[in-house]
Copies of this chain bind each other. A is one copy, B any other.
Amino acid sequence: MIPDIVTVGSMAVDSITTPVGEAPNCLGGAAVHGSIAASMFARVGLVGVVGTDYPQEGWDLLNARNIDISGVQQVSGETFFWKGSYSGDMGEAKSEVTRLNVFADFQPELPQDYRRAKYVFLANIHPSLQLSVLEQVEAPKLMMCDTMNFWISGTKDELTKVLGRVTVAFMNDAEIRQYTGENNVVKAARAVLDLGPSAVVVKKGGNGAALYSRNGSSGLSFFSVPAYPMESLTDPTGAGDSFAGGFMGHLAKTDDISEANMRRAIVFGSVMASFNVQDFGVKRVARLTWPEVVERYRQFQGFTRFDDCDA
């Protein structure tokens, strides 16, 4: 069966410490966070690599979410392991241990069925691996890439090639400034749009997210949504990936990539990110129900609505 969405990226075991507590050996990895979030909306095919030690809990969860794992390679060795901690407002993770293990030699290979998927999410991996996935897909309607500071400084040329081929670029505000060398995020977004994508999603953590897209020959369309006003964050790990999963999930479910629908997708992404941070790893999103998603979507409407100026 052709999945609605193909998600490519890391599958990991994370040991996380935050001011709320410690959680050893959580299910983690960008592609896992993204897939579990997207699976609330549509059928996901996952592409990643794990070792022989991958927890049964992980297989069970992917199965429970009806996620196609025919693209997951299991090879001898250990699964990607990350240990990190957060303090203060949890704005940034402090990496303590990063053992790439089997992920070091990851070469994404899409099963035949996956190649005809219309929606492709390239989570944060080496841009040349992202490019190899783009070579394998046959009829994509929307491709989105995430990245990180490491690739921007180390493999910028390859990343530029990826940006030249995707439909949606997904970056946080620090990354888009770093990549473009432009302090002003609006100018930075315009610079990325000039490389080819029809939309740029800028994640701003606690300050929400923005969508920049082309509008006519020189115009720029702008949409912004706040972050959910969260009084008690438990663990931000994977929030950006859950955001991406919700965004892709809604687009794939509705099969509509208009700007108006991307706005709704940004809100669904924000909803998924807001649940992600309410427990360690994927725990909260793993037990999430659709009515909870809809309820929070409507809360976002409440956070942003205002009357006309002469109402």
Contact = CB atoms under 8 A, between A and B. Distances in A.
Interface stretch (A97-105, A138-146, A180-188, A234-242): A180-188
A311 B260 CA distance: 11
B268 A225 contact: no
Contacts of A212: 229
Contact of A223 (B190, B266, B304): B304
B264 A309 contact: yes
A307 interface: yes
A89 B307 contact: no
Contact of A229 (B186, B231, B306, B311): B186
A62 B190 CA distance: 39
Contact of A226 (B210, B294, B311): B210
A208 interface: yes
Given A88-B183, A207-B207, A230-B186, A268 B301 contact: no
A182 to B, nearest CB: 10
Contacts of A204: 207
Given A186-B231, A210-B226, A263 B303 contact: no
A105 B193 CA distance: 54
A255 B297 CA distance: 32
Contact of A306 (B230, B233, B263, B308): B263
Given A207-B207, A208-B224, A224-B208, A231 B307 contact: no
Interface of A: 88-89, 183-187, 190, 204, 206-208, 210, 212, 220, 222-226, 229-233, 260, 263-264, 266-268, 294, 297-298, 301-311
